[in-house]
Amino acid sequence: MADLTHVLSDHLMNLFTYNIKAFHLSPDDRSNIPVPSPPSLFLTTDLVTESEHIAHALAEAYLNPSEFVILPYHSFPEPKHSEVTLPWDAVRYSDRLTSRETGQHEEREKQHAVAYPPIGDIEPHKISRPTVVVDMHGVILAWYLPGVLGNARQVRWYCDCSLTT
């Protein structure tokens, strides 16, 4: 019997690949690409639905569309741009860091901020779409995938406050 994690990851990869291939195609041409079907018996309906949502968000962030985003089964009626580009090279940045960087040395942090400025005037709370953060060469440094994990998949902090009083 196949491991559920591997079955799910294979299915997610197939969905992601489908979304990437189908992105620039017309609806008629898109119908020529077979939609990946979930492996029966292994994935519940909830997992299949979640995997479709995750694959869509990953493809949207990866493609960084600057025009209308129209992915299979989804459409957004306004122009979107979902890439944040840092004006520096991530490899050069990592070369500059020592193995014992703590972020607590104020003078060193100021030097880093001058040489490798943070994301200009983009405020994190204004990014609301699936997004990738890339360096000046297009190397993906981070993925921002809001809402990709449903409430059932998120770890919750629980505190029985009656125990502390």
**Tens digits of residue pLDDT in 60-115:** 888 864 433 334 444 433 334 456 788 889 899 888 888 787 878 888 888 888 88
Instruction: Give the model's pLDDT for residue 75.
Output: 41
Neighbour order of strands in the sheet with 140-144: 83-85, 131-134, 140-144
> What contacts 24+ positions apart, CB below 8 Å, involve 150-159?
150/50, 150/53, 152/46, 153/50
Q: In sequence order, what are the beta bridge partners of 144?
A: 131
List CB contacts of 107: < 8 A, sequence separation 6 or more. Answer: none
> Percent of the chain beyond pLDDT 70?
75
- Separation of alpha carbons 38 and 1, rounded Å: 16
Residue located via tokens 């942090």: 109
Instruction: Give the model's pLDDT for residue 71.
Output: 42
Instruction: Give the model's pLDDT for residue 124.
Output: 55
- Separation of alpha carbons 65 and 86, rounded Å: 17
Residue located via tokens 């840092």: 86
Instruction: Give the model's pLDDT for residue 69.
Output: 38
The answer on pLDDT for 3 being more than 50 is: yes
The answer on pLDDT for 133 being more than 60 is: yes
Q: What pTM did the predictor assign? A: 0.65
Instruction: Give the model's pLDDT for residue 80.
Output: 45
The answer on pLDDT for 128 being more than 80 is: no
| Residue 36 pLDDT grade (very low, low, confident, very high; cuts 50, 70, 90) | confident
**To the nearest whole number, what is the mean pLDDT of the chain?**
76
